[in-house]
Amino acid sequence: MSKIKADFLVHNAGQLVTVAGYSQLPKRGAELADIGLVENGVLAAQDGIIVAVGPAAQVQEQVELTGDATVIDAGGRVVLPGLVDPHTHVVFAGSREHELEMKIAGMGYLEILAQGGGILDTVRATRAAGREELVAAGRKYLDQMLAQGTTTAEVKSGYGLTTEDEVKMLAAVRELHNSHPVDLVPTFLGAHAIPIEYKANPNAFVRLVIEEMLPAVAREGLAEFCDVFCEQGVFTVEQSRQILLAARRLGMQPKLHADEIVSLGGAELAVELGAVSADHLMAVSAEGIRQLAESVTVAVILPATTFCLMGKQYAPARSMIEQGVAVALASDFNPGSSPVNSMQIVMGLACRQLKMMPAEVVSAVTINSAHALGRAARVGSLEVGKQADLVIFDALDYRYLMYRFGTNLALTVIKSGKVV
Ligand code: IZC
Ligand code: ZN
């Protein structure tokens, strides 16, 4: 029997968590706890693609190493698929630490925004920044994310709010995607806030998004998805529907900031449009949960946002899982509501605040988050044919990753079969 060539091998993984078997459809209910754990596992790759994975004896029999192969001893530790962060705003200028005092004093997120701060503060800084400045800032944050185990991340525009500045942001995302190891998935979020100059006429801004921004983004092929911040005082359900329908006509698939603070029916709209994901859902209705459970839409939950907003009400993850909603987790990294870019912190919060079990959390930050980005055929699990994106953690049991909190446990991050 001829052996499979491999130029990369990780062996002696005490727990090789493959999350295998769910590349076609996202996991629901009890499937979330099925994480394909292999004891004393080995993974082999060639040219960045996994060629063999499983128990040591089996894989070692199948593969033959090339002369220059990289061989890594995991030292009995935990190995997971590279983490997939399906909701971030990682490209922006400036920062908003001054909001911390306002929030401690009890001021709400939407109140800060209504006074021209919040997102609009970051819009001012981002408009003033050149593309190179955005790329430099984004690179720093992506370095931090990669070092903490994130190998694929979605990135939204939405701090430009003019055609030129939105295109500038997405061009920065493209430049980062082409020059940084983290794979980036671009989303157009021109409808992130009503800019000050359109405050008296929000519908004119919606027209600008539909008639000018979307065609410009589509022309350059700058975004795969389109998102809208559907929220009280931001964009209504009807405005969100119009924007996402127009985006879909131009080939951009819908995503939605849904029911984050006020229950407006965002989840229901996401389902109606067949959106790839409905994100936040802290204020989702019972009907919204019921509809999500019967849909293809992945519910992306962002517990670091609730934590940083000092919110009392987390998204009802347990109820969603029990009713059959496909649940994923993301950081929502942004300069306002979630200055958190560590998926490990999100994982710790998911156990403590969402009452998700550690195995469910593993699925929610790997294969289900890949589904929330339409990337499940390529990443999110350790299976033959997929990208060799994996992380060796300084842990002997995967539950230790959620048990510890706030320390980066990623020891070695491997992207497309290369240590980064
Ligand atoms: O900059 O505040 N929720 N958009 C919707 C955000 C948070 C990002 C921000
Ligand atoms: Zn967001």
Residues 334 and 287 in one domain: yes
Residues 277 and 412 in one domain: no
The closest alpha carbon to 166, from 147, 201, 193, belongs to 193
Residues 242 and 208 in one domain: yes
What value does the mean pLDDT take over residues 24-29?
A: 98
- Say what the pLDDT of residue 351 is: 98
| Cα(153) to centroid(ligand 2), Å | 13
Q: Is the C-beta atom of 337 inside 6 A of ligand 1? A: yes
What value does the mean pLDDT take over residues 24-46?
A: 98
Percentage of the chain with pLDDT > 90?
99
- Say what the pLDDT of residue 115 is: 92
Q: Which of 115, 119, 229 to mutate to test the pocket of ligand 1 (most atoms within 8 A of CB)?
A: 119
- Say what the pLDDT of residue 47 is: 98
- pLDDT tier at 358 (50, 70, 90 boundaries)? very high
What value does the mean pLDDT take over residues 103-129?
A: 95
- pLDDT tier at 14 (50, 70, 90 boundaries)? very high
- Judge whether 258 and 278 are in contact, CB under 8 Å: yes
What whole-number distance in Å separates Cα of residue 315 and Cα of residue 350?
A: 10
- pLDDT tier at 219 (50, 70, 90 boundaries)? very high
User: Could you read off the pLDDT of 258-298 as tens digits, one per residue?
Assistant: 999 999 999 999 999 999 999 999 999 999 999 999 999 99
Question: What are the backbone dihedrals phi and psi of residue 227, each rounded to the nearest 5 degrees, phi first?
Answer: -125, 155
Residues 69 and 152 in one domain: no
Which of ligand 1's atoms lies nearest the C-alpha of 92? 1
Residues 150 and 198 in one domain: yes
Strand partners, 63: 4
Residues 285 and 264 in one domain: yes
Q: Which of 192, 256, 301, 341 to mutate to test the pocket of ligand 1 (most atoms within 8 A of CB)?
A: 192
* Ranges assigned E (strand) in 95-178: 150-156
Residues 414 and 301 in one domain: no
Domain boundary among 334, 350, 372: 372
Residues 245 and 387 in one domain: no
Q: Which of 87, 88, 89 to mutate to test the pocket of ligand 1 (most atoms within 8 A of CB)?
A: 89
Residues 232 and 198 in one domain: yes
- Say what the pLDDT of residue 287 is: 98
What whole-number distance in Å separates Cα of residue 223 and Cα of residue 173?
A: 10
Domain boundary among 372, 389, 410: 372
Tell me, what CATH number does 15's domain have? 2.30.40.10
Atom 6 (ligand 1) nearest CA: 337
What is the rounded end-to-end Cα distance, in angstroms, of the chain? 34
Which of ligand 1's atoms lies nearest the C-alpha of 305? 7
User: Could you read off the pLDDT of 86-115 as tens digits, one per residue?
Assistant: 999 999 999 999 999 999 999 999 999 999
- Say what the pLDDT of residue 149 is: 98
Residues 10 and 104 in one domain: no
Question: What are the backbone dihedrals phi and psi of residue 309, each rounded to the nearest 5 degrees, phi first?
Answer: -80, 0
The closest alpha carbon to 410, from 70, 85, 47, 151, belongs to 151
The closest alpha carbon to 415, from 21, 230, 165, 147, belongs to 147
Q: Is the C-beta atom of 126 inside 6 A of ligand 1? A: no
* Residue 227 in this model has a pLDDT that exceeds 80: yes
Rounded to the nearest integer, the mean pLDDT of the chain is: 97
Atom 2 (ligand 1) nearest CA: 336
- Say what the pLDDT of residue 275 is: 98
* Residue 1 in this model has a pLDDT that exceeds 80: no
H-helix or E-strand containing 206? helix 202-208
Q: Is the C-beta atom of 229 inside 6 A of ligand 1? A: yes
Q: Is the C-beta atom of 280 inside 6 A of ligand 1? A: no
- Say what the pLDDT of residue 97 is: 96
Structure tokens at 410: 């990623």
Structure tokens at 290: 């019921």
The closest alpha carbon to 240, from 292, 212, 216, 275, belongs to 275
* Residue 346 in this model has a pLDDT that exceeds 90: yes
Question: Domain range holding 25?
Answer: 4-82+381-419
What value does the mean pLDDT take over residues 128-140?
A: 98
Which SS3 state, helix, strand or coil, does residue 151 take? Answer: strand
Residues 121 and 230 in one domain: yes
- Say what the pLDDT of residue 13 is: 98
The closest alpha carbon to 153, from 178, 182, 124, 118, belongs to 182
Which SS3 state, helix, strand or coil, does residue 333 take? Answer: coil
What value does the mean pLDDT take over residues 10-14?
A: 98
Q: Is the C-beta atom of 335 inside 6 A of ligand 1? A: yes
Residues 359 and 389 in one domain: no
What value does the mean pLDDT take over residues 113-119?
A: 94
| Cα(311) to centroid(ligand 1), Å | 15
| Cα(189) to centroid(ligand 2), Å | 9
- Say what the pLDDT of residue 342 is: 98
Which SS3 state, helix, strand or coil, does residue 364 take? Answer: helix
What whole-number distance in Å separates Cα of residue 226 and Cα of residue 186?
A: 9
Question: What are the backbone dihedrals phi and psi of residue 7, each rounded to the nearest 5 degrees, phi first?
Answer: -105, 10
Q: Is the C-beta atom of 28 inside 6 A of ligand 1? A: no
Torsion, Cα of 174, 179, 182, 184 (10° steps): 10
Q: Is the C-beta atom of 416 inside 6 A of ligand 1? A: no
Domain count, the chain: 2
One-letter amino acid identity for 319? S
Tell me, what CATH number does 87's domain have? 3.20.20.140
DSSP 300: E
What whole-number distance in Å separates Cα of residue 182 and Cα of residue 373?
A: 14
* Residue 408 in this model has a pLDDT that exceeds 90: yes
* Residue 165 in this model has a pLDDT that exceeds 80: yes
- pLDDT tier at 50 (50, 70, 90 boundaries)? very high
